[in-house]
Amino acid sequence: MTPDAINRLVAQLAKLPGIGEKTAQRLAFYVLRSPPEYARGLAAALTEVVDKVKLCNQCFSLHDGPEGTVCSFCSDSRRDDRLVCVVEGIADELAIERTREFKGRYHVLHGVLSPLEGVGPDQLRIKELLVRLQGESPIEEIIVATNPDVEGEATALYLTRLLKPIGLKVSRLAQGIPMGGDLEFADQATLARALAARRDL
């Protein structure tokens, strides 16, 4: 019989997304075979993440600085205060950051509008975005970078209706044929979007 401690580890690992029972077991045995320092380091890293990482109270990105301070995206004086890119989640923010093309600020919604799953505007960080726009805000343009799916589009539309009347420029990431893509194999919706969003050369 497998020791209870191993069963507990397997059960915890199997809760991770994309990890089934078998993979969880393989990972557990890998940890067991590795030097004890590895397991202790892993445990310490896990604990540190939950204890130290919190959300920035301005853009709601991840942040591990002292309480009451903002994240590096918000505090970096070289970034452009006039531009704010609104993303669904942290992974999207990091993807945009990897392009090195965007030098404005971010705002992380932590989800998208999804009436079927009971996610309304109050469940997202939309109120907090409006707070950032109050008073002498330097923000001139909001780039809505939600995903091009039903929920992402609905969220973009909602934000546009909310933000445009305030006098802000609201833009959306362009959609179309991916780099290295092939027109022949592009689906109709993608091709139609690409045509609609064509630009002058």
Residues that bind Zn ion (CB under 5 A): 56, 58-59, 61, 70-71, 73-74
Which residue has the closest beta carbon to Zn ion?
56
Nearer to Zn ion, 58 or 155 (CB): 58
Q: How far apart (Å, rounded) are the C-alpha atoms in residues 67 and 115?
A: 34
Question: Closest CB to Zn ion among 9 and 86?
Answer: 86
* Nearest-approach distance from CB 69 to Zn ion, in angstroms: 9
Closest distance of CB 104 from Zn ion, Å: 12
Instruction: Output 59 or 163, the one with its CB closest to Zn ion.
Output: 59
CB atoms within 10 A of CB 144: 23
Q: Is 155 exposed, middle or buried (0-12, 13-18, 19+ CB in 10 A)?
A: buried
- State the nearest-atom distance from the C-beta of 67 to Zn ion, in Å: 14
Which among 100, 97, 103, 104 is positioned nearest to 83, based on CA atoms? 104
How far are the Cα atoms of 30, 31, 102, 144, 197 from residue 106, in angstroms, in the given order?
A: 39, 37, 10, 10, 24
Nearer to Zn ion, 26 or 132 (CB): 132
What is the closest distance, in whole angstroms, from the C-beta atom of residue 82 to Zn ion in the complex?
16
